[in-house]
C-alpha cells in the first residue's frame, strides 16, 4: 500500500477473551522486531485497555475534568460577581463535557457511576460553597443547581446516540453492528460481562421504552417524539432523587 510503519510510535493492545491464554504475540514491522505490546493506549481521546473495561478511561476522564475545574475555580466558580446560573452553565459546558467525553459508547457498572457521581456532587458543592459538614442531601444539591445526575446524563446521551444509529440507513456500519448477531459460538457459563446491548436495554427499560417499539419512537415525524429529543421523567428529575 506504500505505507511506512514507525515502530517507535506504533503500539499494540491485545484484548483477550476469557478462554484464550493471555500470552502476547510478537509483532514485527518490515521483518524487524520492535512493535511493543502495551496494556493500554489512547485512541481518539479515549483509553483502550486490554481487559475491555472502562476503568482507566473513567479515572482519566475524572482527572481531566478535575484539572479543567481547577483552572476555572478562582476566576469563575469562586467569583462572587457571577450569578450561580452562569457558574453552572460554564461547569456543564466545560467540566461535564470533559468528564463524559465519548460516554455514548460506555458500558458502565455501579463502581463507575459511583466515582463519577462523587466527582459531580463534589464540584457542585464547591460551586454552592457548601461542604459535607452542612449535611445537604445530594438531591437538594442537584435541585439548587438545576443539574441532572451523572447516571441520568449518560442515559440521555446514550439514548440520543441510539436514536441516531437507528435512523441510519441499513448499510451504515454502526447500524449493522448494533443489529448484528453471531452465527457461531456461545457465551461461557457463569457470570457474564455486561455488553453494550445490555447497557442500552437497561436504559430503555428505565425510561419505559419498549424495545420492540424502538424504531417507531426513534423515527422522525412518526409516532411518539424521537429518542434524544424528548425529556423522560428519569432524565429530567427522577434520577436526581435517586442520587440522594
Question: What per-residue confidence (pLDDT) applies to 8?
Answer: 79
Residue 212 DSSP one-character state: G
Task: For the chain, give the mean pLDDT.
Answer: 83
Least confident of 36-40, 95-99, 158-162, 203-207: 36-40
Predicted confidence (pLDDT) at residue 58 exceeds the cutoff of 60: yes
Mean pLDDT of 148-153: 94
User: What radius of gyration, in Å, describes the C-alpha atoms of the chain?
Assistant: 22
Q: What does the pLDDT average to over 193-212? A: 87
| pLDDT value of position 212 | 82
C-alpha torsion angle, residues 72, 76, 77, 81 (rounded to 10) = 160
Query: Which range scores top for mean pLDDT: 148-162, 177-191, 211-225?
Result: 148-162
Instruction: Report the share of the chain in percent with pLDDT over 70.
Output: 86
* Length of the chain as a residue count: 244
Sign of CA dihedral 216, 220, 226, 230: negative
159: β partners:
none
Cα separation, 96 vs 64, whole angstroms: 10
Residues 142-151: what's their mean pLDDT?
Answer: 93
| pLDDT, tens digit (0-9, with 9 covering 90-100), for 102-129 | 999 999 999 999 999 999 999 999 999 9
Return the domain boundaries, the chain: 1-38, 53-147, 155-178+195-243
pLDDT in tens, 231-242: 443 343 333 333
Nearest to 168 by CA among 110, 103, 105, 215: 215
Q: To 10 degrees, the CA torsion angle through 51, 55, 59, 62?
A: 130
**Which is more confidently placed, 228 or 218?**
218
Residue 176 to residue 171: CA distance in whole angstroms: 7
| DSSP state at residue 230 | S
pLDDT higher for 195 or 65? 65
For residue range 10-39, list pLDDT tens digits in order: 888 887 766 665 677 777 776 777 788 888
DSSP assignment letter at 228: T
Per-residue pLDDT tens digits for 221-232: 443 444 544 444
The C-alpha cell that represents 244 in the structure block? 440522594
Amino acid at each position: 500500500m506504500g505505507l511506512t510503519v514507525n515502530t517507535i510510535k506504533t503500539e499494540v493492545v491485545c484484548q483477550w477473551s476469557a478462554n484464550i491464554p493471555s500470552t502476547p504475540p510478537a509483532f514485527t514491522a518490515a521483518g524487524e522486531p520492535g512493535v511493543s505490546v502495551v496494556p493500554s493506549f489512547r485512541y481518539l481521546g479515549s483509553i483502550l485497555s486490554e481487559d475491555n473495561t472502562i476503568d482507566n478511561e473513567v479515572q482519566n476522564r475524572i482527572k481531566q475534568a478535575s484539572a479543567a475545574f481547577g483552572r476555572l475555580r478562582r476566576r469563575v466558580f469562586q467569583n462572587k460577581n457571577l450569578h450561580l446560573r452562569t457558574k453552572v452553565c460554564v461547569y456543564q459546558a466545560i467540566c461535564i463535557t470533559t468528564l463524559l467525553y465519548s460516554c455514548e459508547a460506555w458500558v458502565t457498572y455501579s463502581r463507575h457511576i459511583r466515582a463519577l457521581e462523587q466527582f459531580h456532587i463534589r464540584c457542585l458543592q464547591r460551586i454552592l460553597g457548601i461542604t459535607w459538614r452542612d449535611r445537604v442531601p445530594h438531591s437538594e444539591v442537584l435541585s439548587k443547581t438545576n443539574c441532572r445526575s451523572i447516571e441520568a446524563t449518560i442515559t440521555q446521551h446514550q439514548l440520543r446516540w441510539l436514536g441516531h444509529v437507528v435512523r441510519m440507513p441499513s448499510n451504515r456500519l454502526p447500524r449493522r453492528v448494533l443489529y448484528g448477531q453471531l452465527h457461531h459460538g456461545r457465551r461461557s457459563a457463569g457470570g457474564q460481562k455486561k455488553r453494550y446491548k445490555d447497557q442500552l436495554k437497561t436504559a430503555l427499560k428505565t425510561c419505559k421504552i419498549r424495545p420492540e417499539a424502538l424504531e417507531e419512537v426513534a423515527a422522525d415525524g412518526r409516532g411518539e417524539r424521537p429518542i434524544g429529543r424528548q425529556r423522560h421523567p428519569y432524565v429530567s428529575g427522577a434520577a436526581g432523587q435517586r442520587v440522594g
